[in-house]
Amino acid sequence: MPQRLANKAALITGAGSGIGLESSLLFAQEGANVLLVDINLAAAQKGAALIQERFPNVKALAVHADVGKEDDIKGAVDLAVAEFGRLDVMFNNAGIMHPADDHALNTEEKIWDLTMQINVKGVWWGCKYAIMAMRKNPVDEERGLRVGGSIINTASFVALMGAATPQLAYTASKGAVLSMTRELAMVHAREGIRLNSLCPGPLKTPLLMDFLNTPEKKERRLVHLPMGRFGEAVELAKAALFLASDDSSYMTGTDFKVDGGLTSCYVTPV
């Protein structure tokens, strides 16, 4: 079976853990060269080494970058293009959920600003530099199209439904990711650059599990999950692979929900 990302180059942020790490492994398995970007360089390097061990036919590199800094993102995109010759897939996946993020009365402005800096500006800059790089990809003569690329932005189910366990800044930031992605998808549709949001449900990754650090906190959520379990990072990686590959060639501007049915649910099964 042909590999779904053969000869493509991908950049993944937040690649040291969770969705980003599983996606890096899966994209490489499907033939992509991958630049693993993370603020935690050691974790990204570990991921890159694992890829080189398992899939020696592709290139995997790790770089330190803070997506909350425009120069870091520009540097990472430039590195991907210098090393791989092009950029086909940009997965703006890094995000934070701050422990001090709460409801409107309790959330400090500095927590709000930090969350927006990373979760919103980071995605904006990731899109900006990816679009600039993808515009330089060669034209597909056969189809008469510029083969732009695929940009995937990680949002969240919390952008689509309210919760009485608030993290106001996080929720607002993910709503911004959805609307920004939709608009960018329209602006760049005729350039062959597709942009889609990935909306995960609650997952068994450090981001959520560090936060739900008691059985009571976990149970408070589990009762609302139709499948009765948290999702796994690899289940999101498989969805990201679909959005990254030409299998989703007629999809752009979508809020792609991978949430175990959570956003369709009124009453869960007993």
Residue with tokens 């990754």: 205
Q: What whole-number distance in Å separates Cα of residue 17 and Cα of residue 236?
A: 13
Is residue 170 part of the annotated active site? The answer reads yes
Residue with tokens 């408070």: 220
* Residue 125 or 192 having the CB closest to ligand NAD: 125
Q: Hey, is 145 helix, strand or coil?
A: strand
Work out how close the CB of 13 gets to ligand NAD at its nearest, in angstroms, rounded to a whole number: 5
CA 14 to chain centre: 8
* Residue 147 or 211 having the CB closest to ligand NAD: 211
Q: Hey, is 129 helix, strand or coil?
A: helix
Q: What whole-number distance in Å separates Cα of residue 20 and Cα of residue 11?
A: 10
Q: What whole-number distance in Å separates Cα of residue 209 and Cα of residue 1?
A: 36
* Residue 135 or 175 having the CB closest to ligand NAD: 175
Work out how close the CB of 253 gets to ligand NAD at its nearest, in angstroms, rounded to a whole number: 19
DSSP 117: I
Work out how close the CB of 65 gets to ligand NAD at its nearest, in angstroms, rounded to a whole number: 6
Which residues are paired to 193 by β-bridges?
149
Which residues are paired to 11 by β-bridges?
35, 90
* Residue 150 or 197 having the CB closest to ligand NAD: 197
CA 154 to chain centre: 4
CA distances from 185 to 49, 150, 252 (A): 34, 10, 6
**Residues engaged in binding ligand NAD (CB under 6 A):** 13-14, 16-20, 38-40, 43, 66-68, 93-97, 118, 154, 156, 200, 202-203, 205-208, 233
* Residue 123 or 148 having the CB closest to ligand NAD: 123
* Residue 52 or 211 having the CB closest to ligand NAD: 211
Work out how close the CB of 250 gets to ligand NAD at its nearest, in angstroms, rounded to a whole number: 25
Work out how close the CB of 18 gets to ligand NAD at its nearest, in angstroms, rounded to a whole number: 2
DSSP 193: E
Structural Rg of the chain based on CA atoms: 18
Catalytically annotated residue among 129, 170, 250, 266: 170
CA 98 to chain centre: 18
CB atoms within 10 A of CB 181: 25
Work out how close the CB of 142 gets to ligand NAD at its nearest, in angstroms, rounded to a whole number: 36
By annotation, the residues acting in catalysis are 170
